Amino acid sequence: MTAITADHLLTRVRGLLAAHPPADTDRADFLRARFDAGLAWVHYPEGLGGLGAPRSLQAVVDAELAAAGAPDNDPRRIGIGLGMAAPTILAYGTDEQKQRFLRPLWIGEEVWCQLFSEPGAGSDLAALGTRAVRETGSGDWIVDGQKVWTSSAHTARWAILIARTDPGLPKHQGITYFLCDMHAPGVEVRPLRQITGEAEFNEVFLTGVRIPDSHRLGAVGEGWAVARTTLMNERVSIGGMRIPREGGMIAPVAAAWRERPELRTHALHQRLLELWVEAEVARLTGERLRQQLAVGQPGPEGSGMKLTFARLNQEISGLEVELLAEEGLLYDDWTMRRPDGVDFTGREAGYRYLRAKGNSIEGGTSEILLNIVAERVLGLPPEPRDDKDLAWKDLNR
Amino acid sequence: MTTPAAPTDLLYSGTEEELRSAVRALLTDRCDAKSVLDRAGTDRPHDPALWHTLAVEIGAAGLLVPEKLGGQGASHREAAVVLEELGRAVAPVPYLTSAVLATEILLGCDTAEAATLLRELASGRTVCVPAVPLTLAPGAPLPAPVRDLGSGSLTGTVTSVADAVAADVLLVLADTGLYAVPAAAAGLTPRVPLDLTRPLATVTLEAAAGTRLADAGTARAAVAGALLSGAGLLASEQLGLAEWCLTETVRHVRGRHQFNRPVGSFQALKHRLARLWLDVASARAAARAAADALATEAPDAPLTVAVAQAYCSGVAVRAAEECVQLHGGIGMTWEHPAHLYLKRAKADSLALGTAGHHRGLVADFAELPAP
């Protein structure tokens, strides 16, 4: 087989554009044609939206299509499907599962969500207690439990789900991975109103939910290994992008400082300068990481960037509320609403302050990430633990 | 506010890594912790033989000097790499003072006399040290404690002059210009320094004769420029120092057992070291940015240098303090080198402007004025 080159892909892209001119083509039709041309994710196999090309060539395709004004599939809205469900289905799915799920997922006809975290299993995800019991006769699985912090659950058609199928085994071994129909009877989605007043996330209650065995992903009891594939593909949004000097959360604070001299105090000045310097150094650290990746020398800095940004966002947004003096006592709007996407920097200072509190919790708490840096980067030994070999049912909960 | 014009190159080139290897190999052989410690206890802390190899054989003394003046024609990026390694070894050599500060002052003079001195300095034969206090900061008013009493008869006293005891020639900033004064013609009173590896002296001039290198205006501009470069490159020394502290501390807590487990397995310590690693990784980006901005004469170099100093000073001190604390009792002893790093880090945090001074500069450059 000859290697697929950028030129080869560009020829294909032009063929697609010629056959389906974006200006005259329905958005969904164009996206379907793009998938069928193997230009959805070029590193996927032929017939599944790809051509088996090097992953790095995707950028060539995306740039050419964007330049031609082609519609995109709004990765923000369907990010969990693209970033987490798809690579896992590709790695572990049966041929039928790949054929059934990948195309509507990529086009955005079917939105996905992720049913992993539970009220009792956050950082210690493998301790999860949602049960899946196999029904004798039908072979279907009956699922009962509660999930939490589920983005997009209210719009999702499908979910990736991990559930406990053998409580007698140690916690990492008795887990099985399923594809769950969010329209199935027994699935109840409730908005989870959070500290800011809005609801970005949901709680999902599963009561006697029936999942056919054909919607199991990977072998029974092998769900943890499958979940690790999902989690490794969880996209890290920080590090790849180039941030301008004074970008991010420091921008509105610096602007307020310049525009409103009456707010300035010496104590706030010192804190502002310290944080301005730290934000600039964080920008440079991210830029250095980006340069390392570009020359194929990925450094371990990536594992630390989220820690840095979480701390900085919290300190800067806290300073901003104080800087605003009397206005800092006010909040823009407590109305319960459901934002389309996650907006970390939107709205006003009070919102930013409250929303930033999530930055050190979501996607791995800062404490867990510090452990990861200490163990994987610095090579420090793990804390002794006794939960690895104990049956899940015998764990303290 | 200034915006970075071109993307800063924050990586190390192949040439820079080769230079690092050469310097590190030399320091591993000839500047181990024990020999630095032994020297620090004497009144001759400098290692002239080590300096000779570094300056002459590796050619590090002339990195910033153009080839036509007998130097290497390299840039601040390479000098920064040398300083990282010297910081890692708390090496007792007059590199920052002679190969960076004095060199930059002479480069700013543009006279035949200065060029002659630069040639000697670049060859490694002459150590030349600016007679200014080590605490003098870029952006601060330049003091003029030395007066020219007529026809180059220099009189005055300068305190806290680093590496003066190792100098052949002192660069003296007088009210009428810049002068090269043979160290033998000056009165040197060594002081007891906090940092044993970078000795301090009071320089007293009593009608000392010097060679005039530049007029007053040129001299002041040259010194100001040198202070900016020095502050920017000091960040790399601080980075190297912090990195040694982190590496040695991680090594120690992995091997040291208490309560029947390595102390490095305790989460309280792991988190402290992970945070320190983050700080060091960030300090590397800040120090590289400063070196690159100086090398490319970027318009925002003064801001980038101020950011690097405001950040790296604190990281070096924190790394050294954590090193002492996490080594437990041994960290408080004279026999363990941790104290040398703590002393250097703390002295470095005063050298060429404190973090607070540099934050003040950031306020100016970034247009974030004080109330």
B270 to A304: CB separation less than 8 angstroms, yes or no: no
Q: What kind and span of H or E run contains B161?
A: strand B153-162
- pLDDT value at residue A238: 42
Q: What kind and span of H or E run contains A10?
A: helix A6-19
At B282-296, the pLDDT tens digits run: 999 999 999 999 999
- Whether residue B365 lies within 8 A of chain A, CB to CB, comes out as no
Give the dihedral sign, CA A45/A49/A51/A52: negative
Give the ipTM: 0.95
* Tokens describing residue B260: 């029947």
What residues of A are in contact with residue B371 (Cβ under 8 Å)? 261, 264-266, 269
Catalytic residue among A109, A188, A222, A234: A234
- Whether residue B254 lies within 8 A of chain A, CB to CB, comes out as yes
Distance CA A315, CA A326 (A): 19
B310 to A246: CB separation less than 8 angstroms, yes or no: no
What residues 269-328 of chain B have any CB closer than 8 A to a CB of chain A?
Answer: 269-271, 273-275, 277-278, 281-286, 288-289, 307, 310-311
- pLDDT value at residue B320: 98
At A155-183, the pLDDT tens digits run: 999 999 999 999 999 999 999 999 999 99
Residues 6+ apart with CB under 8 A from A276: A246, A250, A254, B362, B366, B368
Q: Tally Cβ neighbours within 10 Å of residue B336.
A: 19
The beta-carbon neighbor of A257 closest among B285, B286, B368 is B368
Minimum Cα–Cα distance from B284: chain A residue = A285
- pLDDT value at residue B36: 94
What residues of B are in contact with residue A300 (Cβ under 8 Å)? 281
* Tokens describing residue A327: 């206005």
Minimum Cα–Cα distance from B279: chain A residue = A308
Catalytic site includes residue A315: no
Distance CA B288, CA A281 (A): 11
Minimum Cα–Cα distance from A282: chain B residue = B282
What residues of B are in contact with residue A244 (Cβ under 8 Å)? 3
- pLDDT value at residue A232: 83
The beta-carbon neighbor of A380 closest among B253, B282, B310 is B253
What residues of B are in contact with residue A367 (Cβ under 8 Å)? 271
Q: Tally Cβ neighbours within 10 Å of residue B11.
A: 16
pLDDT band at B10 (very low <50, low <70, confident <90, very high): very high
A277 to B359: CB separation less than 8 angstroms, yes or no: yes
pLDDT band at A344 (very low <50, low <70, confident <90, very high): low
Task: State yes or no: pLDDT of A302 exceeds 50.
Answer: yes
Instruction: Identify the CA nearest to A286 among candidates A245, A236, A250, A240.
Output: A240
- Whether residue A123 lies within 8 A of chain B, CB to CB, comes out as no
- Whether residue B9 lies within 8 A of chain A, CB to CB, comes out as yes
Helices (H) and strands (E) in chain B, counts: 11, 10
Q: Are B287 and B235 in contact (CB under 8 A)?
A: yes
List B315's β-bridge partners, or say none.
none
List A134's β-bridge partners, or say none.
A141
* Tokens describing residue B87: 């910081």
Q: Are A153 and A159 in contact (CB under 8 A)?
A: yes
Mean pLDDT on B84-93: 98
Distance CA B347, CA B354 (A): 10
Distance CA B63, CA A43 (A): 47
Task: State yes or no: pLDDT of A374 exceeds 60.
Answer: yes
Instruction: Identify the CA nearest to A78 among candidates A110, A34, A38, A30.
Output: A110
* Tokens describing residue B144: 């003029």
- Whether residue A251 lies within 8 A of chain B, CB to CB, comes out as no
The torsion angles phi and psi of B22, rounded to 5 degrees, stand at: -65, -45
* Tokens describing residue A170: 């140690």
B266 to A383: CB separation less than 8 angstroms, yes or no: yes
- Whether residue A39 lies within 8 A of chain B, CB to CB, comes out as no
- Whether residue A273 lies within 8 A of chain B, CB to CB, comes out as yes
Distance CA B269, CA B274 (A): 9
Of A52-61, A325-334, B227-236, least confident by mean pLDDT is: A52-61
Task: State yes or no: pLDDT of B149 exceeds 70.
Answer: yes
Distance from the B125 Cα atom to the nearest Cα atom in chain A, whole angstroms: 38
B271 to A374: CB separation less than 8 angstroms, yes or no: yes
The torsion angles phi and psi of A29, rounded to 5 degrees, stand at: -60, -40
- pLDDT value at residue A237: 43
What are the Cα distances from residue B83, in Å, to B157, B238, B303?
29, 8, 21
What residues of B are in contact with residue A378 (Cβ under 8 Å)? 250, 270, 273-274, 277
List B334's β-bridge partners, or say none.
none
Buried b (16+ CB within 10 A) or exposed e, B42-57: eeebbbeebbebbbee
Longest Cα–Cα distance of chain B, Å, equals 74
Alpha carbon A301 to its chain centroid, in Å, reads 20
- Whether residue A291 lies within 8 A of chain B, CB to CB, comes out as yes
B363 to A269: CB separation less than 8 angstroms, yes or no: yes
Q: Tally Cβ neighbours within 10 Å of residue B150.
A: 8
Distance CA A76, CA A82 (A): 9
Mean pLDDT on A323-343: 90
Task: State yes or no: pLDDT of B229 exceeds 80.
Answer: yes
- pLDDT value at residue B142: 95
pLDDT band at A342 (very low <50, low <70, confident <90, very high): low
* Tokens describing residue B371: 């109330």
Mean pLDDT on A245-259: 95
The whole-chain average pLDDT of chain A stands at 92
Of A42-46, A134-138, A360-364, B156-160, least confident by mean pLDDT is: A360-364
Q: Are A115 and A129 in contact (CB under 8 A)?
A: no
Buried b (16+ CB within 10 A) or exposed e, A83-112: bbbbbbbbebbeeebbebbbbbbbbbebbb
Query: Looking at this protein, which amino acid is placed at residue A339?
Result: P
Instruction: Identify the CA nearest to A235 among candidates A51, A80, A128.
Output: A80
Distance from the A272 Cα atom to the nearest Cα atom in chain B, whole angstroms: 9
Task: State yes or no: pLDDT of B3 exceeds 70.
Answer: no
Which is more confidently placed, A301 or B130?
B130
At B194-225, the pLDDT tens digits run: 999 999 999 999 999 999 999 999 999 999 99
- Whether residue A276 lies within 8 A of chain B, CB to CB, comes out as yes
Task: State yes or no: pLDDT of B7 exceeds 80.
Answer: no
Mean pLDDT on B131-144: 96
DSSP string, A350-392: HHHHHHHGGGGTTTS-HHHHHHHIIIIIS-PPPPP-SSSSSBG
Residues 6+ apart with CB under 8 A from B32: none
A272 to B367: CB separation less than 8 angstroms, yes or no: no
pTM: 0.92
What residues 307-326 of chain A have any CB closer than 8 A to a CB of chain B?
Answer: 307-308
Helices (H) and strands (E) in chain A, counts: 12, 8
pLDDT band at A56 (very low <50, low <70, confident <90, very high): confident
- Whether residue B330 lies within 8 A of chain A, CB to CB, comes out as no
The whole-chain average pLDDT of chain B stands at 95
Mean pLDDT on B175-180: 95
Instruction: Identify the CA nearest to B314 among candidates B358, B261, B272, B273.
Output: B358
B275 to A266: CB separation less than 8 angstroms, yes or no: no
Distance CA A337, CA A360 (A): 23
Distance CA B331, CA B343 (A): 13
At A229-250, the pLDDT tens digits run: 998 877 544 445 678 999 999 9
